[in-house]
């Protein structure tokens, strides 16, 4: 896979020399800052200033200006140039002699700074000594020897020598290690130990010896068969070799690319995977070098620069080839290229978006989803790919320059329905995920409308929650869609959401009447509930009739289930409602029940009305035949319950009616309400023979009232039991005894004794009597105890009083009130238990000392 990582840009089109001789050819170059030096084959050193500029079209251009030149006057080619900017010097190798020139005027430095018999030299790229004003160099002599020098402004100080097995042709010095190309092999020299380690053989006739530094103590060598071999200072390799083409001329390295030049091409390999990434046709190259990260290439007449293509461009090129993974990898690693984090993220997000659309167009939905989310793409960009999903009012136009080349999903699917479904499914997932998150912020309407359209089409259960809860769907687009797909219930809900209640009701009445079909519609209950909660009362009344006709019992909920918070209005005055409901008797009962039991309205009218209605329904049941007993019982118990708990209805009215029929239980309750307990109890005992109910009656009617009433009621009951006038009184002895012995009943014992028939044996009454006596005795004793305790308390209080008063309180002229500090003029004063004496009017609180704030207990502790 190729990448366009570099671009070849001309730097100096044609070197010009004063002599303009045709023979002038470039031998070597050196770049140091803005200074570019050319060593020619005919012994000139030429100095240029080079400035790199960005042209208006975004391309890099070089402005060059010749500064000067120097002819070294020996007619031999210049072999190598090295700048030592700290010393303002350049090192020149020409005709086997290494000399120094001034960096600016190119004048030779006189004073013995010279080494002769030199084959090649190199500068230490990681010097061990840190004197900035000296440079370490290693020189390969024409004999089998290497020499180390320290170079200063005007001197080359010899440091040491190393013997090597053969003559060195090329070398690189890094730290304490020199990697040397000899005539038949490469070797590694350790400057500290002088140990020479053989690396591997090569043939210097077929292979140009090249030694380049890659990183600290790692070198790249040109091996046999055009292999690029990596070697560490330990003499081993930690990277696989890479394969170049034949006739290699020069090599250079700029992370992460290795640039190699042969007679036809410049090739670029990645050091990461050893694969070739780019090839640029280039003929006649002579020199290639990396100068502080800038690559310059020389042919015989021209100089070019290999400018790295901006990573954005590389990424865009990869994206154009749909190589998403590589593009993203490259972009991620581009983080280091000196952009501010914000700026980088902005660019990276756009790349992610573009990548997302590529994945999208290839149906890689998971990846696309991830990229859209991470890239924070504008939702509308995605939605706009689906025809008719954006709101019709949306004036969205796609981003310029475009993020993708997709017209719409139909274009991607080419009529494949199942694929279209996948695409729609994807959009649904995507929108659901971003709905309500930061990404979806500001596009609620677009998201919700698109979702609604998608849901409506597939009849998703998500449709209704979408509409009901905080939806961004407007009416304009959605009504049409919902109608088209027959999602009438959802349509009703949408109207409701937008408070178009009348339209909503039209939809729902049609659904309830069966004109429309939609299985999502829950039925009439829903409409009734809606009406019950609707605060537009005029509208409610419009539909009350319809609802009552459909199902009166359900429809009454419109009135009974109204929200608690709703203020009472004229339209819903109970009287009006009752009048209105007249046609539907059952609904009136339900409504009155609501008024009486739930709203607890204390109006005689409603209570009586309800009681009468209950009574009517009981009477009606009684007169009709074949009525099940439980129905009747149920109706009667409702009536009794009503009669019992309410005190507001007109008792006489009901009683009159109740007496006409044999409704004894009801009559008993009604007599109870009239305080005619004797009558009530007689009915219970004689007519109903329900003794339990009679006892209960006594308890219920005396509840929450004075003790004596209870006693009286039980007494009445007992006397009913023992009534000598009743012909079957014998049958009542047992309940009478039970009552006497009952734990709940309370009696005035002496009165009971008077009432009891004389012929009853004591044995029969023993239980009652024992209890009565015990109770009486207990009462007597308890009273005594109380009496004694009261007396004791009284004595204690007296004692305290005496103790407090026994000391005299002298009031003299100079005794001042402790509160106001004035003299006492009145004969009265207040003395607190702690001795504080004040005026009576100064003692605001008798329990709290006004001076110390001490609290005197009102009780004896």
Name the residue nearer to another protein (CB basis): 202 or 664.
202
Under the criterion CB under 8 A, does residue 227 sit at the interface with another protein? yes
**Which residues on adjacent β-strands are paired with residue 220?**
212, 230
Residue of 40, 30, 132 whose CA lies nearest to 77: 40
Under the criterion CB under 8 A, does residue 96 sit at the interface with another protein? no
Smallest separation (angstroms) from another protein to the CB of 242? 8
- Binding residue for another protein, selected from 202, 386, 495, 671, defined by CB under 8 A: 202
Name the residue nearer to another protein (CB basis): 238 or 706.
238
Tokens of 436: 């309500």
Task: Reduce the secondary structure of 311-367 to three states and give it as a string.
Answer: HHHHHHHHHHCCCHHHHHHHHHHHHHCCCCHHHHHHHHHHHHHHHHHHHHHCCCHHH
Q: Give the burial class of 114: count Cβ atoms within 10 A of its Cβ; 0-12 exposed, 13-18 middle, 19 or more buried.
A: middle
Under the criterion CB under 8 A, does residue 570 sit at the interface with another protein? no
Which segment (40-48, 82-90, 237-245, 363-371) binds another protein by CB under 8 A? 237-245
Asked if residues 141 and 120 have their Cβ atoms less than 8 Å apart, the reply is: no
CA-to-CA dists, residue 39 to 123, 286, 765, angstroms: 17, 12, 144
Smallest separation (angstroms) from another protein to the CB of 120? 23
What does residue 685 show for φ and ψ, rounded to 5 degrees?
-80, -50
Under the criterion CB under 8 A, does residue 157 sit at the interface with another protein? no
Under the criterion CB under 8 A, does residue 127 sit at the interface with another protein? no
- Binding residue for another protein, selected from 108, 127, 241, 552, defined by CB under 8 A: 241
Give the number of other CB atoms < 10 A from CB of residue 56. 6
Smallest separation (angstroms) from another protein to the CB of 374? 30
> Computed over its alpha carbons, how large is the radius of gyration of the chain?
56
Q: What is the DSSP string of 354-423?
A: HHHHHHHHTT-HHHHHHHHHHTT--HHHHHTTSTT-S-TT------SS-S-----HHHHHTT-HHHHHHH
Name the residue nearer to another protein (CB basis): 184 or 535.
184
Smallest separation (angstroms) from another protein to the CB of 222? 12
Tokens of 146: 């290497």
Under the criterion CB under 8 A, does residue 239 sit at the interface with another protein? yes
Under the criterion CB under 8 A, does residue 196 sit at the interface with another protein? no
Under the criterion CB under 8 A, does residue 787 sit at the interface with another protein? no
Contacts with another protein in 49-88 (CB under 8 A)?
Answer: none
Under the criterion CB under 8 A, does residue 225 sit at the interface with another protein? yes
- Binding residue for another protein, selected from 71, 200, 597, 829, defined by CB under 8 A: 200
Smallest separation (angstroms) from another protein to the CB of 227? 5
Name the residue nearer to another protein (CB basis): 20 or 238.
238
Asked if residues 119 and 140 have their Cβ atoms less than 8 Å apart, the reply is: yes
- Binding residue for another protein, selected from 33, 201, 656, 792, defined by CB under 8 A: 201
Which segment (96-104, 193-201, 696-704, 800-808) binds another protein by CB under 8 A? 193-201
- Binding residue for another protein, selected from 18, 74, 110, 236, defined by CB under 8 A: 236
- Binding residue for another protein, selected from 183, 190, 237, 300, defined by CB under 8 A: 237
Placement of tokens 């059952």 in the chain: 586
Under the criterion CB under 8 A, does residue 210 sit at the interface with another protein? no
Tokens of 175: 């730290």
- Binding residue for another protein, selected from 72, 90, 199, 698, defined by CB under 8 A: 199
> Residue 778 CA to chain centroid, in angstroms?
73
Binding mask 747-776 for another protein (x = CB under 8 A): ------------------------------
- Binding residue for another protein, selected from 223, 289, 492, 850, defined by CB under 8 A: 223
Give the single-character DSSP code of 686: I
CA-to-CA dists, residue 814 to 528, 810, 823, 842, 843, angstroms: 89, 11, 7, 18, 19
Residues that bind another protein (CB under 8 A): 199-202, 223-225, 227, 229, 234-241, 243
């Amino acid at each position: 896979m190729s990448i366009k990582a570099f671009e070849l840009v001309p730097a100096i089109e044609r070197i010009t020399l004063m002599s303009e001789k045709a023979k002038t050819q470039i031998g070597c170059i050196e770049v140091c800052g803005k200074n570019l030096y050319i060593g020619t084959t005919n012994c000139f050193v030429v100095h240029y200033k080079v400035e790199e500029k960005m042209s208006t079209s975004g391309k890099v251009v070089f402005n060059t200006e010749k500064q000067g030149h120097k002819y070294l006057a020996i007619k031999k080619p210049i072999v190598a140039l090295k700048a030592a900017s700290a010393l303002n010097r350049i090192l020149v190798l020409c005709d086997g002699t290494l000399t120094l020139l001034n960096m600016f005027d190119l004048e030779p430095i006189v004073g013995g700074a010279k080494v002769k018999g030199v084959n090649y030299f190199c500068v230490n790229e990681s010097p061990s000594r840190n004197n900035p004003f000296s440079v370490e160099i290693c020189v390969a002599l024409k004999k089998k020897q290497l020499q180390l020098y320290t170079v200063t402004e005007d001197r080359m100080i010899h440091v040491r020598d190393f013997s090597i097995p053969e003559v060195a042709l090329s070398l690189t010095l890094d730290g304490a290690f020199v990697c040397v190309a000899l005539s038949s092999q490469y070797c590694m020299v350790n400057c500290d130990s002088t140990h020479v380690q053989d690396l591997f053989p090569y043939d210097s006739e077929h292979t140009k010896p090249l030694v380049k530094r890659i990183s600290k103590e790692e070198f790249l060598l040109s091996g046999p068969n055009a292999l690029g071999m990596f070697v560490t200072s330990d003499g081993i390799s930690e990277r696989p070799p890479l394969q170049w083409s034949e006739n290699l001329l020069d090599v250079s390295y700029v992370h992460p690319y290795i640039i190699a030049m042969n007679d036809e091409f410049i090739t670029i390999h990645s050091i990461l995977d050893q694969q070739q990434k780019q090839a640029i046709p280039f003929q006649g190259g002579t020199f290639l070098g990396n100068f502080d990260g800038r690559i310059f290439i020389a042919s015989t007449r021209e100089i070019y620069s290999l400018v790295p293509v901006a990573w954005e461009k590389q990424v865009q090129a990869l994206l154009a080839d749909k190589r998403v993974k590589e593009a993203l990898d490259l972009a991620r690693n581009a983080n280091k290229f000196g952009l501010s984090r914000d700026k980088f993220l902005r660019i990276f997000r756009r790349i992610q978006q573009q990548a997302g659309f590529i994945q999208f167009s290839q149906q890689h939905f998971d990846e696309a989803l991830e990229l859209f989310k991470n890239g924070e793409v504008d939702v509308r960009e995605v939605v706009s790919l689906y025809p008719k999903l954006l709101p019709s009012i949306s004036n969205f136009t796609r981003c310029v320059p475009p993020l993708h080349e997709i017209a719409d999903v139909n274009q991607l699917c080419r009529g494949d329905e199942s694929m279209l479904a996948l695409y729609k499914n994807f959009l649904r997932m995507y929108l659901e995920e971003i709905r309500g998150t930061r990404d979806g912020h500001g596009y609620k309407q677009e998201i919700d409308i698109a979702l609604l359209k998608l849901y409506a089409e597939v009849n998703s259960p998500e449709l209704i929650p979408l509409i009901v809860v905080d939806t961004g769907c407007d009416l304009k687009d959605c009504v049409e869609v919902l109608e088209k797909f027959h999602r009438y219930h959802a349509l009703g809900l949408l109207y409701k959401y937008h408070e178009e209640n009348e339209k909503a009701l039209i939809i729902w009445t049609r659904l309830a009447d069966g004109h429309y079909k939609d299985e999502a519609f829950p039925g009439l209950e829903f409409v009734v509930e809606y009406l019950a909660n609707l605060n537009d009362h005029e509208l409610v009344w419009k539909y009350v009739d319809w609802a009552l006709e459909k199902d009166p019992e359900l429809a009454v909920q419109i009135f009974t289930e109204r929200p608690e918070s709703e203020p009472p209005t004229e339209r819903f005055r109970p009287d009006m409602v009752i009048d209105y409901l007249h046609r539907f008797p059952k609904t009136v009962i339900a409504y009155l029940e609501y008024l009486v039991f739930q709203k607890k309205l204390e109006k005689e009218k409603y209570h009586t009305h309800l009681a009468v209605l209950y009574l009517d329904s009981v009477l009606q049941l009684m007169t009709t035949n074949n009525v099940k007993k439980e129905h009747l019982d149920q109706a009667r118990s409702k009536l009794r319950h009503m009669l019992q708990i309410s005190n507001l209805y007109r008792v006489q009215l009901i009683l009159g009616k109740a007496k006409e029929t044999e409704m004894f239980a009801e009559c008993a309750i009604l007599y109870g309400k009239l305080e005619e307990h004797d009558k009530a109890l007689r009915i219970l005992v004689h007519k109903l023979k329900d003794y339990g109910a009679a006892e209960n009656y006594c308890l219920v009617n005396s509840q929450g009232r004075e003790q004596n009433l209870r006693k009286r009621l039980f007494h009445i009951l007992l006397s009913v039991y023992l009534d000598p006038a009743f012909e079957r009184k014998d049958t009542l002895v047992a309940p009478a005894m039970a009552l006497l012995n009952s734990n709940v009943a309370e009696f005035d014992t002496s009165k009971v004794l008077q009432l009891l028939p004389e012929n009853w044996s004591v044995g029969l009454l023993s239980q009652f009597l024992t209890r009565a006596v015990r109770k009486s005795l207990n009462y007597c004793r308890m009273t005594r105890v109380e009496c004694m305790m009261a007396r004791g308390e009284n004595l204690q209080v007296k004692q305290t009083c005496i103790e407090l008063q026994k000391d005299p309180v002298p009031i003299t002229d100079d005794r001042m009130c402790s509160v106001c500090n004035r003299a006492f003029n009145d004969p009265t004063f207040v003395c607190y238990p702690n001795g504080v004496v004040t005026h009576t009017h100064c003692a605001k609180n008798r329990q709290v000392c006004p001076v110390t704030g001490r609290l005197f207990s009102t009780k004896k502790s």
